[in-house]
Amino acid sequence: MKQFNQQQPITKLLVISLYLLSATVLILAFILDRPVSESLVSLRFFLFILVAPLILKLLVQFYAAIRYSFLPVNQGYSTTVPYKVSVLLPAWNEEVGIIKTIESVLQSNYHDFELIVINDGSTDKTDQLVRNFIADYEDPSGYQIPIKYLSLSNGGKAKALNKGLEIAEGNIVITIDADCIVEKNAIYKFVQRFDDPSVGAVAGNIIVGNKKKPLEWLQQLEYVCGFFYKRADSYFNAVHIIGGAAAAYRRDVLTNLKGFDEEIITEDIDLSMSILSHGYKTRYAHDAVVYTEGPTDWKGLRKQRLRWKYGRILCYLKHRELFFSSNSQHSRYLSCFILPLAVYAEILLLNVGLFLSLFYSYIIISQDFAMLASVILVSSSLVAIQIKLDSKSNYHANLLPFIPVAWLLLYVIEFIELVALTMSLQKLYNRESVKWQKWNRVGLQQQTAEQTS
């Protein structure tokens, strides 16, 4: 609330307007009770049929996400034998935050690990900063965490990771982006999920660490809502998007799959799907927390989402054998439910303008505000639960005032996703590639246990 009070008047006015709009809908739903004409009933039924598959997905995932919390491995019970861990930290022009990232990794309460920093041809002060840090590094406890440093010519993130993998000695390999802050117990929580030898990879809980501006709040809200459903995927051992900013892999699995694909721009998604394609399980560790810096301007957000969307489409095309697969090694939940519905959701997104026009035309003409009020109440309840169940719910306290208007705020992300999807399809049609693009970063402040409990 303090951060909200510090915002410019125009931001406050916008949020108040959204509140008034939501309140108006709820009041109208309460006082208006008019019969709906037969033709409009048909339109309402048509709209419901369109979204019914996604409603079913929501119900299944919500149930599984709740069940996830009751699994012993997610309640801190594990008999896992401690593994040697290698943390890979690829970096390209990361002078702003790389030292903070390195320091956060080295402060881990898991001691049997090594840190491998891979400089992918940076042209800023990254190389100098890392070399100076390693030269001056001294652990106050007297136990020195081994740090290896590779300085390469620029070849891309996947190639940098593969080079780091060549010298890694750990049984578990964790990848962290060089603009992140890693919580002290994150490595331990990652390792804990490898109690089953068939688990090939584990996704961490990535949280937006910069939350001073409205755009950053929006991403923070999106992440906490989106990562909630990874609990459901984990319940079915089928997390198919494991972001490289917080990912852990069994070393033997990486070796069998020959590491990261250097030809695809979203090498992390590709690897996640490859692991599942080969019959391994993948999990989500809600308490393996890594803070990332989200884009601070709209242009940077658009670039980020274009790369994600374009890369995801390429991964779906590459791993199309997973769709409706009859292979007993493949998860039915993933092959027959999640992946087909993911494609269906993209098709709906392409037509979201038409869908919303029909939906709100129906609401206004029929004055069936009860339907929209139901959307608001369900959306607000879901967001409240998602924030409450997050392992860092106190950290997300700044989002609480936005719960009643989250249904409107998330339209902004939908618009950005639509732009990214349109641009991706256009580039695919024109056989154009998407390159790694960076946005202006200011760096994250070191998160403390008190701030993030």
Q: From CA 174, how far away is CA 195, in angstroms rounded?
A: 16
The arithmetic mean of pLDDT across residues 349-377, rounded, is 95
Structure confidence by residue, pLDDT tens digits, 174-209: 999 999 999 999 999 999 999 999 999 999 999 999
Give ∠ CA 358-407-294 in degrees, rounded to 5.
Answer: 120
Tell me the Ramachandran region of residue 408: left when phi exceeds 0, alpha when psi lies from -120 to 50, beta otherwise. Answer: alpha
Beta-carbon contacts of residue 436 (< 8 Å; ≥ 6 apart):
92, 156, 157, 265, 307
Say which amino acid occupies 126: T
Structure confidence by residue, pLDDT tens digits, 432-446: 988 766 667 777 864
pLDDT of residue 174: 98
pTM over 0.75: yes
The tally of domains found in the chain comes to 1
- What are 2's two structure tokens? 């303090």
Kindly report the number of other CB atoms within 10 A of residue 250's CB atom: 21
Lookup result for tokens 């950053």:
216
| Through-space distance between the first and last CA atoms of the chain, rounded to whole angstroms | 18
The arithmetic mean of pLDDT across residues 42-49, rounded, is 95
Q: What is the mean pLDDT of the chain?
A: 92
Asked if pLDDT for residue 6 goes beyond 90, the answer is no
Beta strands 85-91 and 281-292: pairing type?
unpaired
Q: How far is CA 367 from the centre of its chain?
A: 37
Structure confidence by residue, pLDDT tens digits, 238-280: 999 999 999 999 999 999 999 999 999 999 999 999 999 999 9
Torsion of the alpha carbons at 39, 45, 51 and 57, rounded to the nearest 10: 170
Beta-carbon contacts of residue 110 (< 8 Å; ≥ 6 apart):
85, 185, 187, 188, 191
pLDDT of residue 451: 44
Of 213, 208, 199, 279, nearest to 243 by C-alpha is 208
Structure confidence by residue, pLDDT tens digits, 206-238: 999 999 899 999 999 999 999 999 999 999 999
In angstroms, what CA-CA distances link 189 with 266, 268, 286, 353? Answer: 25, 20, 9, 42
Q: 340: domain range?
A: 1-453
Say which amino acid occupies 410: L
Q: Categorize the per-residue pLDDT at 35 as very low, low, confident or very high, splitting at 50, 70 and 90.
A: confident
Kindly report the number of other CB atoms within 10 A of residue 241's CB atom: 18
- What are 314's two structure tokens? 């390429």
| Type and span of the H or E element at 204 | strand 199-208
Listed in sequence order, the DSSP H helices in 298-351 are 298-318, 332-333, 339-350
Q: From CA 318, how far away is CA 99, in angstroms rounded?
A: 36
Beta-carbon contacts of residue 287 (< 8 Å; ≥ 6 apart):
185, 189, 205, 391
pLDDT of residue 8: 65
Asked if pLDDT for residue 7 goes beyond 80, the answer is no
Q: Considering only 36-40, 72-76, 214-218, which range has the smallest mean pLDDT?
A: 72-76
For residue 300, what is the domain's CATH number? Answer: 3.90.550.10
